[in-house]
């Protein structure tokens, strides 16, 4: 097998969409890492459903609208975002590029885009926060929003240590991922890449369970997070908490009652329970369940600015992208991720302008043609 190609020093002119990065990225990553990045669980039904949900929806422009003062800006949890778009937490970014998460945060800073740093980041959360501060200084711009994604550890002390580190480093929100406690074991990390934030913490008895082995009764199943863990976290931190991986409208209602400050409607990019519908299909019911005030994000196969417009029209406040940031990172490092974010933002502006929506709040269900 040939070695992966090094990242490109310049962005090739034929890259005009996120799909173009995806097509090129395989050549820049070891084969096993590429499979890990791209895979869905089971038969890939949910992975396919994620994309199909966006493609099924049509857009219905209103003509002759006043676009003066138009902007993609939005406010989430009191902070300004240049667009309703964030970088989803994606583990081990150094599998795609030697700079890993440091390149990603520099790109996010340049594009004033929020980044959600994974518990399983391959660079420490403090180094990422420092790179963000340095980028803001260089750019003379406000620092980009920075959130920490938490996977609960086997002990609450270990979880709390991570939260305290995130607070101390200036992270502005905790995104608690609740849909991936039970994972299949599959991937061996390449040499030199590790979960940098978990160094020194007790290693869990088990982090994943190969299919074909009994699960119930194991330490992994017994340690799966429960609702009282959310209540505990709520008591322990003043940071806003977003729950990631909420799909059932009834769970969304309970999460709001238990003090969640926001939700991410997500099936983890089709990587956990195969057979789940797309987040987009569930979004209107989740919005109806929680009311207008609670911030709702969605992710899963967002690949075009028009996808962002569709998600917002169906009730989302913002979307996140997962795999595309890694495709761009593998192809062209920081510049690639910045370019990918810029393309998405530009596509969103074009979609909004052509729909006759000068602001994100103008994106309403009447701009859609639903199947």
Ligand X SMILES: Cc1cc2nc3c(=O)[nH]c(=O)nc-3n(C[C@H](O)[C@H](O)[C@H](O)COP(=O)(O)O)c2cc1C
CB of 293 to ligand X, least distance (A): 24
Q: Between 15 and 54, whose beta carbon lies closer to ligand X?
A: 54
Q: Considering just the CA atoms, what is the radius of gyration of the chain in Å?
A: 20
Q: Is 268 in the active site?
A: yes
The answer to the question of residue 118 lying near ligand X (CB under 6 A) is yes
Check if the beta carbon of residue 345 is closer than 8 Å to that of residue 82: yes
Q: Stretches 12-20, 88-96, 156-164, 332-340: which one binds ligand X (CB under 6 A)?
A: 88-96
Residue with tokens 């420092």: 130
Token readout for 248 is 């059932």
Check if the beta carbon of residue 352 is closer than 8 Å to that of residue 309: yes
Token readout for 29 is 């990553």
Site for ligand X in 320-339 (CB under 6 A): 321-323
Check if the beta carbon of residue 358 is closer than 8 Å to that of residue 348: no
The CA-based angle 223-227-228, given to 5 degrees, is: 80
Check if the beta carbon of residue 295 is closer than 8 Å to that of residue 262: yes
CB of 303 to ligand X, least distance (A): 8
Site for ligand X in 172-191 (CB under 6 A): 177
- How far is it, in rounded angstroms, from Cα 142 to Cα 168? 19
Check if the beta carbon of residue 128 is closer than 8 Å to that of residue 116: no
CB of 197 to ligand X, least distance (A): 11
Interface pattern 193-232 for ligand X (x via CB under 6 A): ----------------------------------------
The CA-based angle 44-50-56, given to 5 degrees, is: 125
CA distance readout (Å), 214 to 46, 138, 208, 210, 265: 24, 53, 12, 9, 29
The answer to the question of residue 122 lying near ligand X (CB under 6 A) is no
Shortest Cβ contact with ligand X: which residue?
Answer: 322
The answer to the question of residue 104 lying near ligand X (CB under 6 A) is no
The answer to the question of residue 150 lying near ligand X (CB under 6 A) is no
Number of residues that bind ligand X (CB under 6 A): 23
Considering only residues 299, 307, 317, 347, which one is a binding residue for ligand X as defined by CB under 6 A? 299
Interface pattern 258-297 for ligand X (x via CB under 6 A): --------x-xx-x--------------------------
Q: Between 104 and 149, whose beta carbon lies closer to ligand X?
A: 149
DSSP state of 118: -
Q: Between 290 and 321, whose beta carbon lies closer to ligand X?
A: 321
CB of 141 to ligand X, least distance (A): 25
Q: Which residues pair with 76 in a beta bridge?
A: 79
Binding residues (CB under 6 A) for ligand X: these are 36-37, 50, 88-91, 118, 120, 149, 177, 244, 266, 268-269, 271, 299-302, 321-323
Would you please indicate which residues are annotated as catalytic (active-site) residues? Answer: 268
């Amino acid at each position: 097998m040939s070695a992966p190609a090094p990242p490109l020093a310049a962005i090739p002119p034929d890259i005009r969409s996120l799909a173009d990065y995806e097509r090129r990225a395989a050549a820049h990553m070891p084969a096993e890492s590429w499979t890990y990045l791209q895979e869905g669980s089971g038969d890939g039904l949910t992975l396919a459903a994620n994309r199909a949900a966006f493609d099924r929806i049509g857009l219905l422009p209103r003509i002759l609208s006043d676009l003066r003062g138009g902007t993609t800006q939005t406010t989430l949890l009191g902070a300004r975002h240049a667009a309703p778009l964030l970088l989803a937490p994606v583990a081990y970014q150094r599998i795609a590029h030697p700079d890993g998460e440091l390149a990603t945060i520099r790109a996010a800073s340049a594009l004033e885009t929020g980044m959600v740093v994974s518990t399983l980041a391959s660079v420490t959360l403090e180094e990422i926060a420092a790179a963000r501060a340095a980028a803001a200084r260089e750019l003379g711009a406000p620092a980009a929003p920075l959130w920490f994604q938490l996977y609960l550890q086997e002990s609450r002390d270990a979880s709390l240590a991570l939260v305290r580190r995130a607070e101390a480093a200036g992270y502005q929100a905790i995104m608690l991922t609740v849909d991936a406690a039970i994972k299949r074991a599959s991937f061996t990390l390449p040499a030199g890449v590790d979960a940098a934030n978990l160094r020194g913490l007790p290693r869990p008895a088990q982090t994943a369970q190969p299919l074909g082995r009994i699960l119930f009764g194991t330490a992994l199943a017994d340690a799966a997070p429960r609702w009282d863990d959310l209540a505990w976290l709520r008591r322990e931190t003043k940071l806003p908490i977003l729950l990631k991986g909420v799909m059932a409208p009834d769970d969304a209602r309970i999460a709001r009652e238990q003090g969640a400050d926001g939700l991410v409607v997500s099936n983890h990019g089709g990587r956990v329970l195969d057979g789940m519908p797309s987040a987009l299909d569930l979004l209107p019911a989740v919005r109806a369940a929680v009311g207008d005030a609670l911030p709702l994000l969605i992710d899963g196969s967002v690949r075009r600015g028009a996808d962002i417009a569709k998600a917002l029209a169906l009730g989302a406040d913002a979307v996140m992208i997962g795999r595309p940031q890694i495709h761009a990172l593998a192809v062209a490092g920081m510049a690639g991720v910045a370019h990918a974010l810029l393309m998405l933002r530009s596509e969103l502006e074009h979609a909004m302008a052509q729909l006759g929506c000068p602001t994100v709040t103008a994106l309403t269900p009447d701009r859609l043609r639903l199947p």
